[in-house]
């Protein structure tokens, strides 16, 4: 079974220090007090099953490689990811949702539709509800090993994945800025709540 591994090579932080991680280890980014996270590395995928909330699929059998995980402090990343992978991978940008299950259950899904949600358990952030953006790069007529792309992003987490449990390896560079998002939740028109008559 493939294991997650990350090798960060001579990654320079904002204060000029160097980060190097041994193979078959996971680098923790939630301890980084700098606002900049530059990484250069090679990573192998690992099996992952994400349970889904309110969706007809119960599980996704995937191979994934987490580049930037959800953080305990709830901060988001903005930056650029460039990679070259051994298989045609998808880019998954997680968007953490800061509402509870009872609020989600009040959404009028017949009228507004169902938002695709997953509830992955991240190593350092615990249980998270996330609405991912899945980006499928146009690889064109290129064959392996030219499954490459470069994208700007704003997300709570960044990972590469394949469906159908297809393992892969990817070399990547990412430069991300950290920021604490202002949470804006406005589901007033989508909530299917009982109407209370306040007229006298």
Encode pLDDT of 115-133 as tens digits: 787 776 666 666 778 888 9
Q: How much is the average pLDDT of 56-75?
A: 79
The residue ranking higher by pLDDT, 135 or 120, is 135
Average pLDDT over residues 10-22: 35
What pLDDT is stored for residue 30 in this prediction? 52
pLDDT greater than 90 at residue 168:
yes
The reported pLDDT for the residue numbered 89 is: 95
Give the residue with greater pLDDT, 122 vs 175: 175
Please state the rounded mean pLDDT for residues 64-68: 93
| Separation between Cα atoms, residue 11 and residue 52, nearest integer Å | 35
Q: Residue range 78-98: average pLDDT?
A: 94
């Amino acid at each position: 079974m493939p294991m997650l591994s990350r090798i960060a090579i001579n990654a320079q932080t904002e204060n000029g220090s160097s980060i190097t991680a041994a193979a078959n280890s996971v680098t923790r980014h939630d301890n980084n007090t700098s606002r900049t996270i530059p990484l250069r590395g090679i990573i192998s995928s690992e099996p992952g099953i994400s349970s889904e909330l309110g969706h007809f699929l119960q599980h996704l059998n995937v191979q994934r490689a987490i580049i930037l995980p959800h953080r305990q402090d709830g901060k988001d990343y903005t930056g650029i990811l460039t990679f070259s992978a051994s298989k045609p991978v998808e880019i998954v940008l997680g968007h953490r949702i800061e509402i509870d299950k009872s609020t989600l259950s009040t959404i009028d899904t017949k009228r507004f539709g169902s938002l695709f949600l997953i509830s992955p358990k991240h190593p350092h952030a615990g249980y998270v509800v996330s609405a991912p953006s899945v980006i499928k790069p146009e690889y064109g007529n290129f064959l392996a090993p030219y499954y490459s792309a470069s994208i700007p992003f704003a997300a709570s987490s960044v990972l590469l994945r394949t469906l159908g449990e297809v393992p892969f390896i990817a070399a990547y560079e990412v430069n991300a800025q950290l920021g604490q998002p202002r949470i804006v939740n406005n589901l007033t028109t989508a909530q299917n709540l009982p109407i209370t008559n306040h007229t006298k």
